[in-house]
Amino acid sequence: MTLYLLRRLGSLLVLLVVMTAVVYGIFYAIPADPAVLVCGKGCDGAQLAVVHHKLGLDQPVTTQYWHFLEGLVVGRDYSSGPDVTHCAAPCLGYSFQTDLPVLSLIAQRLPVSLSLTAGAVVLWTITGVSLGLVSALREKRLTDRLITVFVLGGLGTPVFVSGLLLLMVFCGWLQWLDFPVYVPLTEDPVAWAQNLILPWLTLTILQSAIFTRLTRTGMLETLSEDHIRTFRAYGLPERRVVGRHALRGALTPLISINAVEFGVVLVNAMLTETLFGLPGIGQLIVQSSNNVDLPVVAGLTLTAGLAVVLANTVADLLYAAVDRRVVLA
Amino acid sequence: MTEVVTEIGGPDVATSGPPARARQVLRTLRSDRPAMAGLVVTVLLILAAVFAPLLAALEGQDTTTFHTQLLDSARGGVPHGALGGVSADHWLGVEPTTGRDLFARALYGARISFTVAFGTLVVQLLLGVAIGLAAGFGGRVADATLGRLIDLSISFPQLMFAIALLAIVPQSFPRPVLLMLVIGLFNWGGTARLTRGQVLSLKTRDYVAAARLSGATPARIARREILPGALPQVLTYAAILLPGNMVSEAGLSFLGVGVHPPTSSWGQMLSTATTWFRADPMYVLVPGLSLLTAVLAFTLLADGIRAALDPKASLRGRR
Amino acid sequence: MTGEGSGGVVLSVRDLTVEFGSGDGVLRAVDGVSFDLAAGSALGVVGESGSGKSTTALALLGLHRRTGARVTGRILLGGDGPEGVDVNALDDEAVRGVRGRRIAMIFQDPMSALDPYYRIGDQIAEVYRAHSGAGRKAAWARAVEVLDRVGIPDAARRARARPHEFSGGMRQRALIAMALACEPEILVADEPTSALDVTVQAQILDLLDGLRADTGMALLLVTHDLGVVSRSADEVLVMHRGRAVERGPVHEVLRAPAQPYTRSLLEAVPRLDAPRAARREPGEPLLTVTDLTREFRRPGRGLRRDAARAVDGVSLDVRRGETLGVVGESGSGKTTLVRMMVGLLAPTSGRIVFDGREITGLPEKRLRPIRRDLQMVFQDPMSSLNPRHTVGDSIADPLRVRGVPDGEARRTARELMERVGLDPARHDRYPHEFSGGQRQRMGIARALSLRPTLLVCDEPVSALDVSTQAQILELLRDVQEDYGLTIVFVSHDLAVIRQVSDRVAVLRGGELVELADVDELYESPRHEYTRTLLAAVPVLA
């Protein structure tokens, strides 16, 4: 167990170093100059040189990367003219574009993305598992076929299409809802939820299709296993056979699916945010990439990597708790 | 008596010989109505994309000419008339603010979509199969390292890197090729994992041991005993990647880092349509439904092929 | 507990027929089978694969319901008494009430028959509560009680274990405990010991005998093993292609079978007491193994990697022209040992000398010329032939590897097919078009194509029915004569080993326990473990 956590921590560190190095590498290899974007079109060579120096772009990429790592671990000092600002560890640096600390930029956006995904996770897990369960128990009947149509449709519809269609129906045609505007949960919980209904639904359609399919296959597979036959042969009521023994076997693997699917979820959340104009992490990624805002992109990569590893670790621990045969090492 | 025939290994390694197997697969496929519908639509769409210039000429329109006379400037540039300006001249209406012909733009969008999807597939297969084979054949250390890499590449949101990369590559680089490279570069994990799994599973078969005993070289064993078993599975799986690639291209174009105007792409059209869903629903529906139809048709076809080979792996889960 | 006195009929089956499929594809798996089972008695149902014996067993509990199978005939539980019911005529809910309470069943594979997620005690208690309505505490106490009854040591503590913490034999005991929980009148055991080692099999059969005597429970024992029937049943029912061929008191039927099918079945069974061909005089050592050890890393990657020794310091020699039998239970290291002998697996330490040359540590390139002398026949006829190659190709391929021209290789392949009893005209067919026995013949033909000196057969007949098994053993004997082969024959079956071997090596836990001439080993075994093994084999009589 301790060994497992140490191993995970080790691989996390390696992963983060590799990922951020790749980001620096990519940006270094590309001829685009962030200073030009910062400085604007009318900049002459001298002005550009000043900006270069200010952003640290006049240093070799390895030095830049080293400073970045240093900032992460011990913090670093930024000198802009006479003043020196200290950026405490973990320091992700300052945005080229806005001069704001990257960490606070991310922290500012995080609640939006969390609101979106947390609500949607609950929705799609419930929808997916129950539809999958019904589908498996009514195998090959009409209900099963209808659910299968939903699964195929859900899997085949990208979020930006389903989101637009939802907008058309609920904002345009029926006029039940306004175009979503993000309202923080702390400000007004009702407005928060109301504005997030459409984004949640958008994510849920796709993700619950995935979950429905997994639950259905898992359920059918478990139902055909030997120990299910045992309990039937011993006269256990069918609802106990299904509800206690089959369901447990079918749902346990879903724990790790949520973690494996994490990347997919992040991408779809990003698209959903962009579609609905929600000021979350996804929007920040698109903006900072377009602006060649290296510190922000590196910081976001780091955050995403951390989240992926964290999600996988939690899933592993949960799995081991649920299935005693699993030995973490 | 108790035939203790242990099924070892991969998701599905055919247990019957090739000719009978192929016949049986074709028969199953032909009786699979959704898959056949998918096939028909796929073929039609591909034909439409190939002959896009011809069809646009038939309509008498192109993708770039502005038709501002068809727009209602009082309402912010929404097309005159019902259904976004559908008429005998403009079969699917015109774009708001510019008045460009939607039929032509949707057709050329299909071209981009399919070209990028197939091109990406080539990149994915080259990378995925190469890495999968290296992991499967390369011994313990190679397998452990590459296995980790494969796991990582699957669970990581690579689209983030893709966006960064696409945003900063100079505009002079041909966009569709760049998209193929970038999407392929970040989406080979599934292919690699499957290839590796197949190789590792087939390697434990007794007939591979028998081939070793007969003195066959590792190269001969790979060529004659393992690859013929592994590749059909990998290629079948590859078919299901196509619709995913189409969605990836559309998604990147939607985010504004895909193909650049004036080239038309479904994702890009949808991105501008975001602000028009109230005033001009047709502008959402044309690219949206085109993408949906294409993705569904490809999925049904690919899934049908997979179901014929291995019913359990199918999305529709027929058993 | 049975209300009727011992001898009263608790189950009578009349004209049981089970059909699968529909239209042209109707398969009649069980065809008009009738029998009676008396309280406290044991009926053995024997037959080869496809005889319908398991299908019959499942029908008794109504387990074909909702599978699309059609079951006709009567399954009268409790005989003609007031508690008598026809299982086949009951509604689903009533059948559920009967299952486990009046008629219980245990299955072949104890590894997968229990839910991996729950404690064993809970699973038993759950079944008990479903029928008795007892409270949680009472049900748990009952679970511990029955676990204790089936010989689980420290049952109160072990009831908290999950199935994966139990060995195969323990799991089968736990399943029997579950069956006992509601004191059923009948226990149906479907190949209850086929997945278990012979010593564990003996313990489980003893347990079943004891329970029958103590509780008056009737036993329906479904098995392919005539020895098991002979040991544990009073009556026997022989099934063949869905029909009951012969029925009667077990010792009468086995001693003087009335039906030709039963007779042929009995002749095919290898016996520990059957006369055998005279032992060949062994020649000089052909292959010598010295202090051979092979370690496997345990799965999982810990900092302290601990290795398990599959083979541990084995020394023996294989002599020219003989058949060396290698026998052992699962995990004894027999497969690992012989795979090292033919160079498929590298030993961790020790030496192998073949025909005067040391082959351990030889690089693949230098080993390749020697390989043609060391060939192997595998256990699983499904996995030992590439499904994508025709039979002719599979047999000719080793020759092509050795540079034999294609035409000649094909001709030789067809000759070999003829030699092993296959129709050479079918050389361009694929393996799936052949039966298990035929595929095993192909495996032998392929191994012979390079005219090896040493042939290693790893459980070559374990996946086959007894009659097919006898034919394959005969074929091996013939080709050994023709080709002057030295054979290493691996099996878990002591009777088969006795029939084919000149000398026998007994392995346990990776170590060589005893190596002796066949007659000496079977008549006066020196090692305690060999004696235990031999005593555990159910004897036909």
Measured between CB atoms, does B161 come within 8 Å of chain A?
yes
Nearest CA in chain B to A173: B278
- Please state, for a pLDDT cut of 90, what percent of chain B lies above it: 25
Instruction: Give the residue on C whose Cα is nearest the Cα of A251.
Output: C117
CA atoms within 13 A on the CB side of A11: 15
If you compute the radius of gyration of chain C from its CA atoms, what whole number of angstroms results?
26
Q: What is the largest CA-CA distance in chain B?
A: 84
pLDDT of residue B311: 64
Is pTM beyond 0.90? Reply is no
CB atoms within 10 A of CB B32: 22
Q: Which residues in chain A are closer than 8 Å to C162, comparing Cβ atoms?
A: 324-325
Q: Does C127 touch chain A (CB under 8 A)?
A: yes
Span C293-298, mean pLDDT?
83
- The pLDDT score that the predictor gives to residue A52 is 75
Q: Which residues of A touch B282 (CB under 8 A)?
A: none
Could you tell me if B48 and B55 are in contact, meaning their C-beta atoms sit under 8 angstroms apart? yes
Q: Is the CB of C115 less than 8 angstroms away from the CB of A249?
A: yes
Residues 6+ apart with CB under 8 A from C359: C343, C352, C353, C367, C370
The residue assigned the tokens 């504005």 is: A195
Q: How far apart are CA C308 and CA C314, in angstroms?
A: 15
Residues in C closer than 8 angstroms to B205, CB to CB, are 383-384, 386
Instruction: Tell me the residues of chain B between 227 and 286 that have a Cβ less than 8 Å away from chain A.
Output: 243, 247, 250-251, 254-257, 267, 270-271, 273-274, 277-278, 281, 284
- At residue B78, the pLDDT reads 75
Give the pLDDT of residue C3. 37
Tell me how many residue pairs between chain A and chain B have CB atoms under 8 A apart. 137
Select from B166, B251, B296 the Cβ nearest to the Cβ of A160. B251
B161/A23 CB distance under 8 A:
yes
Put simply, whether C421 touches A (Cβ < 8 Å) is no
Considering only B283-287, C25-29, C302-306, which range has the smallest mean pLDDT? C302-306
Residue of higher predicted confidence among A13 and C154: C154
Q: Is B51 on the interface with A (CB under 8 A)?
A: no
* Closest chain B C-alpha to C474 CA, distance in angstroms: 19
- Kindly report, residue by residue over B219-265, the tens digit of the pLDDT: 999 999 999 888 888 888 888 889 989 998 998 888 888 888 778 88
Among B248, B89, B87, which residue's Cα sits nearest to residue A263?
Answer: B248
Task: Choose among C449, C453, C445: nearest CA to C476.
Answer: C445
- Does A262 reach chain B within 8 Å, measured CB to CB? yes
Query: Following DSSP, what letter does each residue of chain B receive, concatenated?
Result: --------SSS----S-HHHHHHHHHHHHHT-HHHHHHHHHHHHHHHHHHTHHHHHHHHT--SS---GGGEEGGGTSEESSGGGT--SSSTT-B-TTT--BHHHHHHHHHHHHHHHHHHHHHHHHHHHHHHHHHHHHSHHHHHHHHHHHHHHHHHS-THHHHHHHHHHS-TTS-HHHHHHHHHHHT--HHHHHHHHHHHHHHHTSHHHHHHHHTT--HHHIIIIIIHHHHHHHHHHHHHHHHHHHHHHHHHHHHTT-SSPTTS--HHHHHHHHGGGTTT-HHHHHHHHHHHHHHHHHHHHHHHHHHHHH-GGGSTT---
C464 touches chain B (CB under 8 A): yes
In this predicted model, which residue has the larger pLDDT, C281 or C91? Answer: C91
Residues 6+ apart with CB under 8 A from C368: B215
Confidence of residue A19 (pLDDT cuts 50, 70, 90): confident
- For residue B228, the chain C residue with the least C-alpha distance is C388
In the predicted structure, residue B11 carries a pLDDT above the cut 50 = no
User: Which residues of chain A have a CB within 8 Å of the CB of B187?
Assistant: none
On average, the pLDDT of chain A sits at 83
Res. B145 pLDDT band, cuts 50 70 90: confident
Nearest CA in chain B to C388: B17
pLDDT tens-place string over residues C302-354:
444 567 889 999 999 999 999 999 999 988 999 999 999 999 999 999 999 99
Distance in angstroms (rounded) separating the CA atoms of residues C53 and C222? 7
Query: Distance (Å) from the C-alpha of residue C240 to the closest C-alpha of chain A?
Result: 25
Name the residue among C395, C435, C385, C397 with its Cα closest to residue B229: C385
pLDDT above 80 (res A1): no
Instruction: Work out the minimum CA distance from C521 to partner chain B, whole angstroms.
Output: 29
pLDDT at A53 exceeding the cut of 80: no
For an interface test with B, the pick among A147, A160, A178, A224 (most B C-beta atoms closer than 10 Å) comes out as A160
Instruction: Give me the mean pLDDT over the B13-21 stretch.
Output: 54
pLDDT, residue C129, reads 93
Chain A residue whose CA is closest to B162 = A289
Residue C80 — pLDDT band, cuts 50, 70, 90? Answer: low
pLDDT exceeds 70 at position B12: no
Q: Looking at the complex, does the CB of residue A10 fall below 8 Å from at least one CB of chain B?
A: no
Confidence of residue B314 (pLDDT cuts 50, 70, 90): low
pLDDT at B101: 81
pLDDT single digits (tens) A175-214: 887 888 888 888 888 888 888 999 999 999 998 998 898 8
Answer whether B317's CB lies under 8 Å from B306's CB: no
What pLDDT band is residue C1 in, cutting at 50, 70 and 90? very low
Q: Tell me if A249 and C117 make a contact (CB, 8 A cut-off).
A: yes
Q: Please check whether residue A237 touches C, CB under 8 A.
A: yes
Q: What is the rounded average pLDDT of the residues C268-275?
A: 84
Rounded Cα distance between A83 and A116, Å, is 40
CB contact under 8 A, B210 and C376: yes
Res. A100 pLDDT band, cuts 50 70 90 = confident
- Kindly determine whether residue A234 and residue C97, on different chains, have CB atoms separated by under 8 Å: no
Average pLDDT over residues B102-111: 86
User: How far is residue C334's CA from residue C351's CA, in Å, rounded to a whole number?
Assistant: 17
Residue C5 has pLDDT above 50, yes or no: no
State the pLDDT confidence band at C426, using cuts at 50, 70 and 90.
Answer: very high
Instruction: Please indicate whether, in this complex, the C-beta atoms of C431 and B2 are within 8 angstroms of each other.
Output: no
Please check the confidence at residue A129 and state whether its pLDDT lies above 60. Answer: yes
Q: How many CA atoms lie within 13 A of C256 on its CB side?
A: 1
Average pLDDT over residues B36-57: 87
What is the DSSP code (8-state) at residue C425? G
Does residue C92 carry a pLDDT above 70? Answer: yes
* Partners of residue C164 in chain A, C-beta under 8 Å: 324-325
Question: What confidence score (pLDDT) does residue C276 get?
Answer: 76
Of residues B68 and B111, more confidence is placed in B111
Residue C532 exposed, middle or buried by CB count within 10 Å (0-12, 13-18, 19+): middle
Count of B–C CB contacts within 8 Å? 112
Regarding predicted confidence, which is higher, C529 or A59?
Answer: C529
Cross-chain Cβ contact B205/C386 below 8 Å: yes
- The first and second tokens of residue A39, run together, are 């400085």
**Count of beta carbons in the 10 Å neighbourhood of residue B152:** 20
Q: Which 325-384 residues of chain C touch chain B by CB within 8 A?
A: 339, 342-344, 364, 368-369, 371-372, 374-376, 378-380, 382-384
Pick left, alpha or beta for residue C420 (phi over 0 → left; psi -120 to 50 → alpha; otherwise beta): alpha
> Do B112 and B120 touch, CB atoms closer than 8 A?
no
pLDDT of C171-227, one tens digit each? 999 999 999 999 999 999 999 998 889 999 999 999 999 999 999 999 999 999 999
Instruction: From chain A, pick out residues whose CB is under 8 angstroms from the CB of B156.
Output: 263, 304-305, 308
Helix, strand, coil proportions of chain C in percent (round to 5)? Answer: 40, 25, 35
State how far the Cα of B126 lies from the Cα of B192, in Å rounded to an integer. Answer: 10
Strands C27-38 and C307-319: what pairing? unpaired
Q: CB–CB of C432 and B20 under 8 A? A: yes
- Tell me, yes or no, if A233 comes closer than 8 A to chain C by beta carbon: yes
- Distance, in Å, from the CA atom of C2 to the CA atom of C11, rounded to the nearest integer, reads 12
* CA-atom Rg of chain A in angstroms: 25
> In chain C, which residue's Cα lies nearest the Cα of B212?
C344
Touching subunits of B (3+ CB pairs, under 8 Å) are A, C
Q: Give yes or no for A225 touching C (CB within 8 A).
A: yes
For the ranges A286-290, B79-83, C94-98, the one whose mean pLDDT is highest? C94-98
Q: pLDDT digits over C44-76, tens only?
A: 999 998 899 999 999 999 999 888 889 999 999
* Inter-chain touch B251–A148, beta carbons under 8 Å: no
What ipTM does this complex have?
Answer: 0.84
Q: Cβ A157–B295 below 8 Å, yes or no? A: yes
By the CB < 8 Å criterion, does C113 face chain A? yes
pLDDT tens-digit map of B169-202: 777 788 889 889 988 988 888 899 999 999 999 9
In this prediction, residue B3 carries a pLDDT of 31
Looking at chain B, which residue has its C-alpha nearest residue A276? B274
Say whether C181 sits in a helix, a strand or coil. coil
Four-CA torsion B68, B74, B79, B82, nearest 10 degrees: -150
Do A172 and B270 lie within an 8 Å CB cutoff? Answer: no
Residue B3 sits at φ, ψ, to 5 deg, of -75, 105
Are B258 and B212 contacting, i.e. CB atoms less than 8 angstroms apart? no
pLDDT of residue B162: 81
C221 min Cα distance to partner chain B (Å): 14
> Which pLDDT value is given to residue B1?
32
Q: Is A131 on the interface with B (CB under 8 A)?
A: no
